[in-house]
Structure 1
């Protein structure tokens, strides 16, 4: 089984989620005083900001769900908001086009499924992943030897 996850995107995701959460939680916990128009800031205002910070931090972690799992039978692609479970017989080719940030699957129906788990920003890891996916695809789709 081949499991692929985007390495650099995962690192950036964790850093951004941490910064957003820490900033908004700290702001909420230290929020006090009056507004520019003379209104009083209440403790509930600070707690609301803490809640927003935790919620936005959780949403910022959404890219951590991205992955692709492939074996001799097919590939399961989990992108940001969509999942695809495809047998290799439905896939015409595994491709990476120059200038695109991630790999894709061209299906026999002429549809294209992006594979966000294989991102060119991961360098050699992405190249190895594409080679591995192509190898699994070729092994699953080559005609049986009649001899």
Structure 2
């Protein structure tokens, strides 16, 4: 499964390493909470735990694992008209007319879209830890941005 797909005029980018890290963290969290749930009634702690407490503990583990997987959801989808960016819990679409540049400043964790008035919008789908994948993604977005600027005249 490719993380970055390029057609004649569409680029789709997803993070790579954070997906693996989020998945591993989710598995560990779920395993810990299930283990604790199983041990709740088998250990003499002085407190009385019921089946409902065990189910709740597993439920908390499922919620924590789901929250960890949220870090794997960012995506950037760009075409000739603009770029759609979905970060964790927030999505936004920009036309290329709104975008001044696509940059990846030194030391930054994420690439970003430079907007007028010194504003910017982070692209969490393009992360520094992905190294060459991030470089290719930024170059692809810059090519689309340049092409859109040239066609506008």
TM-score (norm 2): 0.87
What is the match of residue 53 of structure 2? 45
Q: Residue in 1 aligned with 2:26? A: 17
Q: Does structure 2 retain, via aligned residues, the 8 Å contact 1:34–1:41?
A: no
Q: CA RMSD in A?
A: 1.4
**1:34 Cα deviation (Å)?**
3.3
Bigger Rg, which one: 1
Q: Does 1:133 align with 2:141?
A: yes
Q: How far apart in 2 are the matches of 1:118 and 1:28? A: 38
Unmatched 5+ residue regions in structure 2? 1-9
Give the Cα separation in 2 of the matches to 1:144 and 1:58.
43
Q: Which residue of 1 aligns with 2:83?
A: 75
Secondary structure of 1:59's aligned partner:
helix
Alignment partner, residue 30 of structure 1: 39
Give CA-to-partner distance per residue, 1:85-130, whole Å, 9 cap, x none.
Answer: 0100100000111111111011124321001111111111111001
Runs of 5+ unmatched residues, structure 1: none
State the TM-score, normalized to the length of structure 1. 0.91
Which 4+ stretches in 1 moved above 4 angstroms? none
Residue 128 of structure 2, aligned match among 110, 115, 120: 120
Q: How far apart, in 1, do the equivalents of 2:71 and 2:111 lie?
A: 16
